[in-house]
Structures are given as structure tokens and as C-alpha cells.
A = this chain, B = another copy of it.
Amino acid sequence: MLLHKIEEVRKHVKNWKKQGLSIGLVPTMGALHAGHLSLIKKAVEKCDKVVVSVFVNPIQFCPGEDLDKYPRTLEADNKLCEEANADIVFAPSPSEMYGEGQMHTNDFLTYVIPPFFYTNKLCGKSRVGHFDGVCTVVNKLFNIVQPDFAFFGQKDAQQLIIIKKMVKDLNIPIEIIPCPIVRENSGLALSSRNKYLSEEDKTYALALSKILNNIKSCYKKGITDVNALKETAYAFLNEHHELEYLEFMNENDLEAVTTATDNTRVFIACKVGGVRLIDNLLLGE
């Protein structure tokens, strides 16, 4: 069932709660791919009722980013959700979420701001304010849907860690379920932004997962010095790659490490053909 209004969703949620049914939320920006579908599948298995939100959240895009050209495919998304047995697809308009006028700015909107220690690194460094927008909209969706469980992909690992931190810090009564990255056979992590890639760029994009897998192999062979592990990346990069970061951090608190352990997550961001791609991997997995 496709709903656009907050009050309509609340009505169903209230009814479900009265019946004692458990609720799962899968927050997305649409342009659904097999990665999202794995989240929805997990939610359907675990919960009595499942809400998939489809909302390209303007306040998490920075100036100059791809807000306007971000793929919007609501009809197809809705069909996929129905086939996956989601109960509600919630696709609000920006004004339904934020009202009219200047509501997007910090001057006139209450924001949920994750801690600086978690946002001044990795994607947060180039995407200033991005995670403020993410936490604010996720908090809103949590309050609208009041789920028992919310499902997030490991693909956006920094986002997942920040959301978990928000839930802990604000005592939000929701359990966050992390879901593993879904990849093409080639190893390329699925992303809605892959649609921007030319066929040629797609082959260059494989560098990200290759770099991560190679680092993991080296780690399994006993190399734990992060600088040494970082150096193994350059063999996979050429003039088609614009590396933004390759970082080793503690899985739980995003503290940078100099010696890799099983709890170390390796994060990479790299532009290929002008498209910004990210990937990551836990060394202990």
C-alpha cells in the first residue's frame, strides 16, 4: 500500500500496535536495488508488519551534490516492495516532512546532531552536515512509524554506526538490525548511484572491492600495520580513480587505528568517472 501522508501511516501503526503486532522499518531513498530488497526480506521475516520509506531527503544533501538528479523511481520501487510483501510504502513529499518555506535550515528546524567525533571523518569530512540531515530524518521516521526494529545496510557503515550511536544516546526504544552489503558477481557493492556509471567506469569501479579484499587477504596473512596495508591499495588505482579516503577504524566507535585487528573496519571512498562510490569491510568477518 502506497501512502504519502504522515497521518495515514500513523493510523495504520496505531492499529497494528493495538493488535500487539511487531513493526519493522526499512528507511530508503528509493531507486531500490537488490541491496534494499535484502533489507526488506529480512524485515518481512522478522516482523509482523513492514514499512518501507522512500524519501530523497533534501537536508542530507550538501550544496553541489546530486539532490536534483538522484534517481527517483517510485512506481518501480512500490512494485518491488509489494512483491517483497512489505505492508506500507511511505513516500512523503519534502513539504509533508518539513513544511513549506525555509524549514530546511537550522534556523527554523529542530535538528538531531550526531557527535562530532563520529562525523568529522570519512564521508562526513567532505559531506559537511550530511549526517545531521540523516539523523534528523531517521529520527522523524522513527517517530512516525514507531517500529520495533529498523534495518540499515552495512554499505553505509559510517551511517549505521552513527544511527546506532543516536539510538543509544537518545534512548530510542528501537533495535537496529545491520544487514550485509549485497554485491554484483564482479564484487561491486550495489548502490543507487551505480546507475550513473558508464560500462567502462563500472570496470574501474571494481578497484574498491578489490582493494578491500586484498587488504583482508594481507591481514589474514599476518600484516597488521595499517600503513603497510594502505600501501597495497595503490596497485589497483590509476588515472580513472580519484581516491577520497582509505581508512582503518574501530568498528564500534570509529576511532582510527594504526594496528589492524578483527574489529577493524576498512572504509574506502573513491570517485570513478565523476561518481562518488563507497565500500567497506570488516577485517574479522
Roughly how many angstroms separate A146 CA and B148 CA in the complex, as a whole number? 13
Of A65-73, A167-175, A233-241, the one touching chain B: A167-175
**B143 engages A109 (CB within 8 Å):** no
| Complex CA distance for A110 and B111, rounded to whole angstroms | 10
Can you list, as one digit per residue, whether each of A93-136 has a CB less than 8 Å from chain B (1) or not (0)? 00000000000001111111111110000000000000000011
Bound form: Cα–Cα A10–B112 in Å: 23
A169 to B113, CA, bound (A): 14
Tell yes or no: A6 within 8 A of B by CB: yes
On whether the beta carbons of A110 and B171 are closer than 8 Å, the reply is: no
Least distance between A268 CB and chain B CB atoms (Å) = 25
Shortest Cβ distance from residue A249 to the other chain B in the assembled complex, whole angstroms = 15
Which residue of the partner chain B has the closest CB to A163? B110
A38 CB within 8 Å of chain B: no
Contact of A108 among B107, B110, B115, B136 (CB under 8 A): B115
Q: Bound state CA distance, A67 and B76, in angstroms? A: 56
Instruction: List chain B residues, Cβ under 8 A from A113.
Output: 106, 110-113
Q: How many copies of the shown chain assemble into the complex?
A: 2
The smallest C-beta distance from A190 to any residue of chain B, in angstroms, reads: 29
Q: Is A166 part of the binding interface, using a Cβ–Cβ cutoff of 8 Å?
A: yes
A110-B165, A165-B110 known; A171-B116 Cβ under 8 A = no
Chain B residues contacting A111 (CB-CB under 8 Å) are 112-113, 115
Shortest distance from the beta carbon of A128 to any chain B beta carbon, whole Å = 15
Let me know if A192 is at the binding interface, CB within 8 A: no
Chain B residues within an 8 Å CB radius of A140: 169-171
Query: Of B110, B117, B143, B169, which contacts A107 at CB under 8 A?
Result: B117
Which of A115, A116, A146 is the most central at the interface, judged by chain B CB atoms within 10 Å of its CB? A115
**A144 interface residue (CB < 8 Å to B):** yes
> How distant is the Cα of A212 from the Cα of B235 in the complex, in angstroms?
74
Cβ B110 vs Cβ A116 within 8 A = no
In the complex, which residue of chain B has the Cβ closest to the Cβ of A171? B143
Does A173 lie within 8 Å of B115, measured CB to CB? no
A166 to B143, CA, bound (A): 12
Interface residues of A in 163-205 (CB under 8 A from B): 165-166, 169-173
How far apart are A48's CB and chain B's nearest CB, in angstroms? Answer: 16
Contact residue among B108, B144, B173 (Cβ-Cβ distance under 8 Å from A146): B173
User: Cβ of A115: which chain B residues have Cβ within 8 Å of it?
Assistant: 106-111
Task: Give 11 CB contacts A-B under 8 Å.
Answer: A6-B171, A106-B115, A106-B116, A107-B116, A107-B117, A110-B112, A110-B113, A110-B114, A110-B169, A110-B170, A112-B113
